[in-house]
């Protein structure tokens, strides 16, 4: 495979409704898309999932663009997807920017071979279970109404965002209305180990897990917290490399791991983490970063790997966008599942005209 051209384009894609977590409120996504092309003009697409500000991680849209344009894209010419990861190793951090190019190269390789991306990655599941992530709402009643709609749409798991002051009463209200629904809480690093007595009270609600309750780069305190609570801890931000997963499992810092392809630097590293967790009987699931259809398609492919046994955040395009940038948009069945496409690559047609309408910045690296 020879990559002869890399196109970068930044788009502005407004959300249908604001999405709020413990660290901020998002109303519009600034998304960097990566298109790679070979000497036969076969293309592959990837998406940088970095956020608008460095709140989830140190990386953000403003830092990812120069990293892609001046460093990573020139390094990727002519490289195999597996090789790209090793080429990028001398460059520290910038995992989301790396993943954007690496995932585009995987899409290209799959299209060159005429096979679906999920099959090339080693996926086996022809139908993946889906959950939803619901941000902080203006009121408890608004949250309950939102959950009601998502359950009626078939979603198999509900994740709600929490933060200090909006936690116990919120979860109690959800459990009172929906006593049997698989429910998890995502704290986005809003708590400290000293909050263990409060977090222990969540055990009464039989959550499937609490996601990243402590610091975004911590493993040790999570291990101490897991010893004090019954609710399984799921690590998200802390897991950036397979070594992090190894250390977290060894220390007993979690019982579940959320794998986000962008957070760990691409499909190759995501597969390593999945393989490790499967061997250690640690269930994994695919988290979301408010991706457009391109990033969502990559998440679908990743979620077909055998270790992804829990419903992920891969949900329908219509939950987020008035019009997505892929055709057809991602849809979820009445049973809360998605069937990966049998078409080559990511399995969706990229709507170039829609991208042109949304574009605010471009660059080409030949």
Query: How open is the CA angle 240-293-359, to the nearest 5 degrees?
Result: 100
User: Which strands form 158-161's sheet, in the order they lie side by side?
Assistant: 132-134, 158-161, 183-186, 209-211, 233-235, 256-259, 284-286
Pairing type for strands 209-211 and 233-235 reads: parallel
Distance of CA 357 to the CA centre of its chain: 25
Query: How open is the CA angle 264-267-269, to the nearest 5 degrees?
Result: 50
Q: Cα–Cα distance between 279 and 233 in angstroms, integer? A: 19
Reference 163, options 217, 199, 117; nearest CA is 199
Beta bridge partners of 132: 158
Q: What phi, psi does 95 have (nearest 5°)?
A: -65, -35
Of residues 159, 260, 280, 351, which has the active-site annotation? Answer: 260
Tell me if residue 260 is catalytic: yes
* Contact of 305 with 124, CB cutoff 8 Å: yes
Q: What phi, psi does 93 have (nearest 5°)?
A: 65, -150
Of residues 98, 159, 161, 163, which has the active-site annotation? Answer: 161
* Contact of 28 with 15, CB cutoff 8 Å: yes
By annotation, the residues acting in catalysis are 161, 260
């Amino acid at each position: 495979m020879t990559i002869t051209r890399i196109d970068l384009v930044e788009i502005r894609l407004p959300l249908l409704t604001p999405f709020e977590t413990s660290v901020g409120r998002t109303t519009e996504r600034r998304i960097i898309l990566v298109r790679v092309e070979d000497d036969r003009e076969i293309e592959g697409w990837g998406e940088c999932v970095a956020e608008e500000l460095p709140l989830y991680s140190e990386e953000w849209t403003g830092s990812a663009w120069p990293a892609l344009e001046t460093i990573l894209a020139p390094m990727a010419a002519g490289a195999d997807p597996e090789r790209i990861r090793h080429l990028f190793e001398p460059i520290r951090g910038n995992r989301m920017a790396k993943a954007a190019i690496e995932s585009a190269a995987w899409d290209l390789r799959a299209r060159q071979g005429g096979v679906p991306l999920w099959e090339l990655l080693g996926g086996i599941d022809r139908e993946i279970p889906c959950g939803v992530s619901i941000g902080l709402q203006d009121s408890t009643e608004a949250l309950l109404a939102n959950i009601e709609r998502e359950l009626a749409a078939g979603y198999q798991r509900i994740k709600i965002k929490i933060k200090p002051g909006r936690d116990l009463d919120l979860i109690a209200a959800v459990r009172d209305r929906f006593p049997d629904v698989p429910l998890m809480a995502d704290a986005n690093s809003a708590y400290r180990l000293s909050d263990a007595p409060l977090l222990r009270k969540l055990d009464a609600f039989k959550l499937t897990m609490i996601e990243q309750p402590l610091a975004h780069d911590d493993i040790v305190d999570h291990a101490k917290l897991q010893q004090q609570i019954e609710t399984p801890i799921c690590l998200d931000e802390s897991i950036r490399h397979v070594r992090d997963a190894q250390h977290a499992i060894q220390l007993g810092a979690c019982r579940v791991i959320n794998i986000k392809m962008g957070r760990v630097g691409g499909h190759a590293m995501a597969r390593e983490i999945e393989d490790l967790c499967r061997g250690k009987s640690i269930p994994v699931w695919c988290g979301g970063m408010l991706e457009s259809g391109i990033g969502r398609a990559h998440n679908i492919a990743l979620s077909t790997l055998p270790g992804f046994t829990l419903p992920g955040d891969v949900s329908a395009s219509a939950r987020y966008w008035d019009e997505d940038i892929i055709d057809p948009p991602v849809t979820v069945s009445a049973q809360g599942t998605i069937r990966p496409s049998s078409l080559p690559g990511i399995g969706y047609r990229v709507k170039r005209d829609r991208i042109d309408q949304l574009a605010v910045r471009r660059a080409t690296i030949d």
